[in-house]
Amino acid sequence: MKLLKLLFLSAILLSACNNDSTDTPETGEPKQIIVEMASNDFTDVSGTYTLENNKEYCTREDGKYKILLVKSTYINKEGKEKDILTYGILDVANKKYICYTANIDVAQRLERDWEFYNQITNPDFPDDPNRRLVCNSYTKKD
């Protein structure tokens, strides 16, 4: 009898969990992000990058570079491992990141102004003298 009740309860729960939702269609036009070099002693990643709808990355018009979300870790002052989220500019052919934003809040999106630096910033030492500004980005205004 208990087994029968359990099967009946399972059937009710499964029917209640049916997901008949549909994917949200993409809306609006793809956004364009402009990257301008702040210094000429780095690889030139300047250009127009297109952010596709509902994506967390964008690609330069020639496809050579992408701006992607980067997750890395560091050991904080207490000796605990912590995650750092940044956006990085990736050299697609060499699969190598060239520069990074300061650490970001996950709620923030790519469609905002960023400063990209030559290295990921450890939040415990934000004023690293070896950190240098590489480029800036902003959304293209119509």
| pLDDT tens readout for residues 36-67 | 999 888 999 999 999 887 788 999 999 999 99
Question: Which tokens go with 138?
Answer: 């902003």
**Range with lowest mean pLDDT among 11-15, 48-52, 118-122:** 11-15
Q: Which domain holds residue 93?
A: 28-139
pLDDT for position 16: 40
Domain assignment of residue 120, yes or no = yes
pLDDT for position 30: 74
For residue 56, give Cα distances in angstroms to 5, 59, 66.
Answer: 46, 11, 11
How many structural domains does the chain have?
A: 1
Domain assignment of residue 13, yes or no = no
Domain assignment of residue 17, yes or no = no
For residue 102, give Cα distances in angstroms to 37, 49, 123, 139.
Answer: 16, 19, 9, 18
Coil, strand, or helix at residue 77?
coil
Domain assignment of residue 81, yes or no = yes
Domain assignment of residue 21, yes or no = no
Domain assignment of residue 11, yes or no = no
88 residue type, one letter:
G
Rounded mean pLDDT of 4-29?
Answer: 42
Domain assignment of residue 49, yes or no = yes
d(CA 80, CA 72): 14
Environment class of 48 (CB within 10 Å of its CB; exposed 0-12, middle 13-18, buried 19+): middle
d(CA 5, CA 37): 68
Domain assignment of residue 9, yes or no = no
Q: Is the pLDDT reported for residue 132 higher than 60?
A: yes
pTM higher than 0.85: no
H or E element that contains 3: helix 2-16
